Amino acid sequence: KKVAILISGGGSNMEVLARDMTGDHPARPCLVLSNDPDAGGLARAAALGIPTAAIDHRTFPDRAAFESALLTRLAEDAPDIIALAGFMRILTPGFTRAWQGRMLNIHPSLLPLYKGLHTHARAIDAGDAQAGCSVHEVTAELDDGPILGQARVPVLPDDTPDTLAARVLIQEHRLYPAVLRRFAGGDRTRLDLPPVVNIN
């Protein structure tokens, strides 16, 4: 199976996914594509020997034109799966329909809680005892598709959005590779990771 990974920033999730796709893993990364030509993840992907591309959304007159360019570039590699990893552009129903059932995303909240942005601040403001991340299939509605796995962390009394984000990111790096490995092998059963003890 070939996996295209879409990023917008540092690409830490992309990196753990790429590093996991070796040996008997049923998939390999075929492309890392960013909507931001300055995304740090592009250099990390190149260092891993993965082909990269940047399609700057700001150079297109509208979302449809940008997505048409994405689809054209993706068609060159014909991936079996798209993994959104820190990809910060909303995709239209046209795009999500074309890839329905073959596109995953990682979202830094315990969906269905906190769809959209600023998830950690919202969990802290709500006084939640737990937070975490979710990997889900991408559908037309934002952050709403079938959940393929979750990982939880405690919210600590002195947490800021940044300290909570850092704790959640560690779990993202555990969860996403495990879910993608299953998904690429045709297994869509949900994988909820057990909490890591003495987490800080």
Short-list 80, 91, 69, CA closest to 143: 91
Is residue 57 part of the annotated active site? The answer reads no
The only residue of 3, 4, 6, 11 in contact with ligand GRF, by rule CB under 6 A: 11
| DSSP at 31 | E
Of 107, 120, 136, 173, catalytic: 107
Question: Residue 68 or 193: which CB sits closer to ligand GRF?
Answer: 193
Question: Which one of the spans 4-12, 45-53, 68-76, 155-163 is the region binding ligand GRF (CB under 6 A)?
Answer: 4-12
Contact 18, 41 (CB under 8 A): no
109-168 binders of ligand GRF (CB under 6 A): 165
Determine if residue 63 is labeled as part of a ligand binding site: yes
Position with the least CB separation from ligand GRF: 86
Nearer to ligand GRF, 41 or 145 (CB): 41
Quote the least distance from Cβ 61 to ligand GRF, whole Å.
27
Which segments of 70-171 are extended strands (E)?
Answer: 81-84, 103-107, 130-137, 147-154
Is 5 marked as a binding-site residue? no
Report which DSSP code applies to 52. Answer: E
Confirm or deny that 58 is annotated as ligand binding: no
200 annotated as a binding-site residue: no
Nearest to 98 by CA among 76, 68, 77: 68
Kindly state whether residue 172 participates in binding ligand GRF, applying the rule CB under 6 A. yes
Question: Angle formed by the axes of helices 12-20 and 40-47, to 10°?
Answer: 20
Of residues 97, 104, 95, the one with CA closest to residue 6: 104
Residue listed under structure tokens 């990974």 = 5
Catalytic residues, by residue number, are 107
Binding residue positions for (6R)-10-formyltetrahydrofolate? 63, 88-91, 105
